Amino acid sequence: MTQGACCTAITVKGDVAKAADIRQLFHETEKAFGTLDVLVNNAGVYKFLPLEDITEDEFHREFNINVLGTILATKEALKHFGPNGGSVINISSIASAGEPTAAIYSGTKGAVDAITRGLAAELGPRKIRVNAIALGGVETEGPTAPASSAAISRGR
């Protein structure tokens, strides 16, 4: 646990596309902080490829982390929000409108936008706000990392 002048943070390692890892994340969070008020779905990956280079593995990697991870984390958060509700913030992208060589990534962020709208309507009556922030380009290690790197890019 890290403590700063204004806040405390913990790190929990896991795969957001696996329900068991998500449960562990929330268990550790609850153990450290007691309650949950806000969930930020920020995990995300991308690999910009021309259509002819897209593989099934890359499709599933991006959709599992960017979309399934958002669903699983939000589903688990429902169990931990108190009677006053909570807030879910999904990180989307302006790329959800479609970008060259980003068919998969744009599709995942379009899905996040649709999920956000649907869950906002579904969960609003339970005092749970669901919003998305559509970021522009953010420089990460992704575009400059060697092809053999296993680095996960975050932020766009």
Catalytic residue from among 105, 128, 142, 153 = 105
Whether 4 contacts 20, CB under 8 Å: no
Token pair for residue 152? 């996960």
Beta-carbon contacts of residue 67 (< 8 Å; ≥ 6 apart): 108, 111, 112, 115
* C-alpha separations of 64 from 17, 43, 46 in Å: 5, 11, 11
105 in catalytic set = yes
The catalytic residues are 105
